[in-house]
Amino acid sequence: MRAGLLNKTISIHAYSATARSTSGEPIETTSTVLSGIWARVDAKTGNEDYRQRGRWEIDEKDFFIRYTTVSITPSMSVVYGGNEYDIKAVINVGEADRELQLITERRS
């Protein structure tokens, strides 16, 4: 992985439902797992989906970061450019422990 290609910074957040509201509903809380990570961002083709008579814009991006020993899972999210992206898959590129590909979709 060429360092010059890593030209954007992202953060990775984890979610947990440790608290409950007065009605008993779980309250989702976030914690920052990794912050200020340099990444390469590849925007996939945007498209639209029509569900229940509504139009939904789908924004998918792939984030490439250096390999880390911190466990990143699909239950986490990426924060980039003021938007939050749910991680759909984490791929160890070439199984070489050098680069991770995070396949994401913008949280609506």
List the chain domain ranges.
3-106
Exposed, middle or buried, 50 (CB in 10 Å: 0-12/13-18/19+)?
Answer: exposed
Percent of the chain with pLDDT over 70: 86
H or E element that contains 10: strand 8-20
Q: Domain 3-106 carries which CATH code?
A: 2.40.10.270
DSSP 46: P
At 18 the pLDDT is 72
At 49 the pLDDT is 57
At 56 the pLDDT is 59
Radius of gyration, CA atoms only, the chain: 16
- The model's pTM: 0.79
Phi, psi of 103 (to 5 degrees): -90, 125
pLDDT in tens, 26-77: 887 888 999 999 999 998 865 655 555 565 567 899 999 999 999 999 999 9
